[in-house]
């Protein structure tokens, strides 16, 4: 255990400290699920595990509140495994290394997993609490939220009796979330034709790194750079001046994280190496100046590498660059109804050569179904022009705000009383499992809140330590008020 266990509230932080030692990447939740089940078994609390791996722990109400309506608490077990390229860390076995940075808790070169580990730890602390009045509770721990909301999509609704749900996956303190965007992914495959590298060629590795990345939904409005698209933009500009071939282009790791790093292997006539390096440096310096306010850590390098046996032919090289530059990325439109809310966006998430083709994944979001479909049409159009095939996932629904929600009124009152401030009532430009659960179980009254978390899905992820105690106090007081008011 680490210093994290000594933070307040100790019951929550003790569980989070243990969670830091448990590998729990998306689709790899067996060990964290076993930890949750072990806690339930130790407390002799009934639990169920459905075929997808979701866990529901059923807790009776405390004395005097046994007959109250059931309240569901919900968090997801998985985390996004992201690290800086110069960090030696194996997410399958190495514990996350926490460190205190002023008023924040962060990790050492990797994601922290406070998204949604703090919510999971809060539910485990509620499970073992003996001094917290509450009605009957169902603690829903879902799996694989980060790579497609798989757990919520395949949840067995028969496991749940409750019809009001508190999701603990929000990341802005002082805000109550009452709605979210829907989304869908697009997977492109562009065939690549190869040829032997000509004699006298030089091979150069061009790398762009040091960008902030971040969550492809809640951080998309910050106008951070997409490393893959920016590197390709520079390459395409230089290609207008001189001929070269690509042998590789890669960037991004996760569909829901803005790419922070990208690289390309360029093969060209050795006599043109100096001119290429000068032109490429000029393009990347211009891009660095353009993005300096949002990306002060952006850096690039050009270095010689061994010449590959095969390179992409001229037509494939051109099509790859043209497609990556043409594909949409970032904010597409803002909401007309909620000031400051991104309505529609897309993340050009990953690019990598695979099985004789360049594969490209994009994650698109919108709170308006027709706008989401229009964006996917735009992606299909660009792919078609380049000769790429497209596969589209079924997507997930949004969550329409209900400002008359009884649950909202209770939490708002508790927030004002316990924290002394009136909360902001907001919708977010990210997918929450509430959308799927609400569609699956009509009439579910839902709200989402959480502590202050910044830069999720990136190694800069951090949680404000003091906000976690306030978040937990709000949750505990809400459960008590719901029991007394029912």
Q: Residue 384 and residue 386: Cα distance in Å, rounded?
A: 5
| Token output for 410 | 């209770």
Query: b/e for 236-264, b at 16 or more Cβ within 10 A?
Result: bbbbeeeebbbbbbbbbbbbbbbbbbbbb
From the list 264, 210, 213, the residue with the least C-alpha distance to 236 is 264
146 touches 217 (CB < 8 A): no
Structure tokens at 469: 């105690």
CB-CB contact of 217 with 367 (8 Å): no
* 397: nearest Cα among 220, 188, 179: 179
What is the number of residues in the chain?
486
The torsion angle over the Cα atoms of residues 149, 150, 151 and 156, rounded to 10 degrees, is 120
Residues paired with residue 245 on neighbouring β-strands, in sequence order:
267
Please name the residue that has the structure tokens 């400002």: 403
The CA distance from 479 to 100, in Å, is 30
Q: Which of 309, 301, 318 is nearest to 232 (CA)?
A: 318
Catalytic residues: 78, 145
- Determine how many CB atoms are found less than 10 A away from the CB of residue 484: 13
Report which of 342, 128, 324 is spatially closest to residue 226, judged by C-alpha positions.
324
């Amino acid at each position: 255990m680490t210093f994290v266990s000594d933070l307040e509230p100790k019951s929550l932080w003790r569980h989070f400290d243990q969670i830091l030692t448990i590998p729990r990447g998306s689709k790899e939740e067996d060990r964290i699920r076993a930890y949750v089940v072990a806690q339930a078994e130790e407390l002799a609390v009934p639990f169920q595990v459905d075929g997808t791996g979701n866990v529901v722990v059923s807790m009776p109400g405390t004395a005097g509140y046994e007959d109250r309506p059931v309240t569901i608490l919900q968090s997801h077990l998985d985390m996004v495994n992201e690290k800086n390229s110069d960090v030696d860390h194996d997410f399958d076995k190495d514990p996350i290394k926490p460190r205190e940075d002023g008023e924040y808790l962060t990790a050492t070169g990797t994601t922290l997993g406070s998204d949604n580990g703090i919510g999971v730890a809060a539910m485990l602390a509620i499970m073992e609490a003996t001094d917290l009045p509450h009605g009957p509770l169902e603690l829903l721990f879902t799996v694989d939220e980060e790579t497609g909301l798989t757990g919520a999509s395949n949840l067995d609704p028969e496991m749940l009796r409750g019809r009001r749900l508190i999701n603990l996956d929000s990341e802005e303190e002082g805000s109550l979330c009452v709605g979210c965007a829907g989304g869908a992914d697009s997977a492109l495959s562009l065939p690549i034709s190869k040829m032997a590298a000509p004699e006298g060629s030089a091979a150069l590795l061009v790398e762009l790194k040091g960008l902030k990345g971040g969550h492809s939904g809640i951080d998309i409005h910050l106008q951070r750079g997409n490393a893959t698209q920016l590197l390709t933009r520079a390459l395409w500009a230089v290609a207008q001046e001189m001929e070269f071939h690509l042998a590789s282009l890669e960037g991004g790791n996760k569909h829901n994280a803005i790419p922070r790093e990208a690289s390309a292997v360029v093969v060209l006539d050795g006599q043109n190496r100096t001119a290429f390096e000068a032109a490429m440096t000029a393009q990347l310096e211009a891009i660095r100046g353009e993005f300096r306010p949002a990306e002060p850590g952006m850096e690039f390098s050009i270095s010689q590498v061994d010449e590959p046996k095969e390179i992409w032919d001229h037509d494939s090289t051109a099509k790859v660059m043209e497609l990556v530059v043409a594909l949409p990325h970032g904010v597409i439109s803002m909401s007309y109804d909620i000031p400051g809310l991104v309505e529609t966006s897309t993340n050009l998430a990953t690019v990598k050569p695979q099985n004789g083709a360049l594969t490209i994944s994009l994650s698109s979001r919108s709170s308006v179904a027709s706008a989401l479909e229009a964006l996917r049409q735009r992606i299909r159009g660009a792919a078609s022009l380049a000769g790429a095939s497209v596969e589209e996932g079924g997507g997930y629904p949004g969550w329409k705000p209900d400002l008359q929600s009884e649950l909202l009124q209770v939490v708002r009152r508790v927030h004002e009383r316990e924290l002394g401030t009136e909360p902001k009532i907001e919708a977010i430009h990210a997918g929450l499992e509430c959308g799927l659960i609400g569609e699956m179980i009509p009439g579910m009254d839902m709200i989402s809140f959480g502590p202050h978390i910044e830069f999720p899905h990136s190694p800069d992820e951090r949680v404000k330590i003091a906000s976690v105690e306030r978040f937990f106090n709000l949750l505990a007081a809400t459960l008590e008020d719901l029991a007394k008011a029912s």
